[in-house]
Structure 1
Amino acid sequence: MLIGESDLTGTWTDRAGDVTLQFAPDHRAAVAAGGLGASCGPEGIWWFHVRDSGTSARTDSRAAEGYGAVVAVYSSVTGPPGPSTVCERFYPSVFRVDGAYVLCLVDDPDSFCSDGGLLRKAPESGDPSNAVPRHPARR
């Protein structure tokens, strides 16, 4: 499933709130996940995963859309700034459920994400298309 940059950027979380991925337009990323070690994250970068041909794929930091993303999370830095070391990588796959994009972090192609494991994009403030419908007050 192809997803554009404007659809991917924002904050994504699973139903339980155990995993949160943030994608910024400048390709910075932030990750909050229970499985990350204390010395890993939360900051990193992201790229789109694009196809070169039917069987070949690569990551591309300049692509405006892709079939998924790659998120590289850096080790926490203590002391003076230096080169960043990647300590974890996530490979979110993109799907559509009920017309909305969802992300799945399951790496096994023989397994599927359960509904609770899917990451959904949090509504942005001021975006009425993602707002929860309000019911009129009863009299």
Structure 2
Amino acid sequence: MNLELVEFAYNNSYHNRIGMASFEALYGRRCRTPLFWTKLVSVKSKSSDDSADERCSGDDPIHDVFHVSLMRQYMADELHILHPTEVQLDQDLSYVERPLRILDRKDKVLQNKRIPLVMVQWQHRETEEATWELESRC
């Protein structure tokens, strides 16, 4: 893991206790994200006395960052166990998804056009995974 990127993500993440990112609290303005993450690493590693102002000189707005503190420990549950169904594979290790049945029908009406759609349950898929398809293709 690249420590510079972790430091950058932490310093520019919103902190509930202070109501802003720690960079914003320290420098009085938001940090602008660099155009490329590699640029951040190369600028940071130029010298050890680089300030955070120099590292945050890009023109992009701040992007959402997933913070490690948001992670929770996984609690095992028997309902989470997946039991895959067997699928017949072709010689090239591929298979064709075939429609099993039509669950519903509807017409999508555009300004001067009507498009008939059907909800298709696919072979080897649950009902919740059904998709809307053009009626002419099923």
Range of TM-score over shorter length: under 0.3
The structure in which a higher percent of residues are helix is: 2
The structure in which a higher percent of residues are strand is: 1
Q: Max radius of gyration: which structure?
A: 2
TM-score normalised by L of structure 1: 0.23
| Higher RCO (CA-CA < 8 Å; seq separation 6+) | 1
